[in-house]
């Protein structure tokens, strides 16, 4: 479950920000998560809620913005959405690094980051 490690890193970063800026309470954290990270938003929110208990982040809201994946193929110069693997056991199609045109290996251009966009807080 990499959602727990993402939530843990997120909370650590926000708590460092709070200490540096003498913030009393966090209201909302907005996170941009790239589609290639294959993060399950509901699980990430659950982990976030669990590990923010008894901190200045308790009862804050985690808003997750999904950043669409863009890939580029060095073999055929395709640039666009990745090919998706649609398996009956997964909740949603999973992006792959296989070129939709030539089946070569693509390079991620966008959608593989995870970044804090904003923190709304009370000083």
pLDDT band at residue 1, thresholds of 50, 70 and 90?
A: low
Q: Over the stretch 58-106, which tens digit does the pLDDT of each residue have? A: 999 999 999 999 999 999 999 999 999 887 566 678 899 999 999 999 9
C-alpha 41/C-alpha 64 separation (Å) is: 7
Please spell the DSSP secondary structure of 22-62, one letter per residue. T--EEEEEEEEEEGGG---HHHHHHHHHHHTTTSTTTTPEE
| C-beta separation of 19 from 122 below 8 A | no
Phi, psi of 27 (to 5 degrees): -100, -50
**Which of 44, 54, 96, 102 has its CA nearest to residue 78?**
102
If one counts the domains in the chain, the total is: 1
- Asked if residue 31 has pLDDT above 70, the reply is yes
CATH classification of the domain holding 53: 3.30.2320.80
Say whether pTM exceeds 0.75: yes
Domain that holds residue 41: 2-122
| C-beta separation of 12 from 104 below 8 A | no
pLDDT of 41: 93
């Amino acid at each position: 479950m990499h959602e727990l490690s993402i939530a843990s890193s997120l909370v650590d970063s926000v708590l460092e920000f709070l200490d540096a800026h003498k913030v009393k309470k966090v209201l909302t954290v907005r996170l941009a998560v790239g589609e290639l990270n294959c993060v399950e938003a509901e699980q990430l929110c659950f982990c976030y809620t669990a590990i923010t208990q008894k901190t200045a982040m308790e009862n804050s809201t985690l808003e997750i913005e999904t950043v669409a994946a863009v890939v580029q193929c060095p073999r055929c110069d395709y640039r666009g959405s990745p090919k998706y693997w649609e398996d009956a056991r997964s909740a949603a199609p999973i992006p792959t690094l296989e070129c939709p045109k030539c089946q070569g290996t693509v390079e991620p251009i966008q959608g593989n980051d995870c970044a804090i966009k904003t923190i709304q807080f009370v000083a």
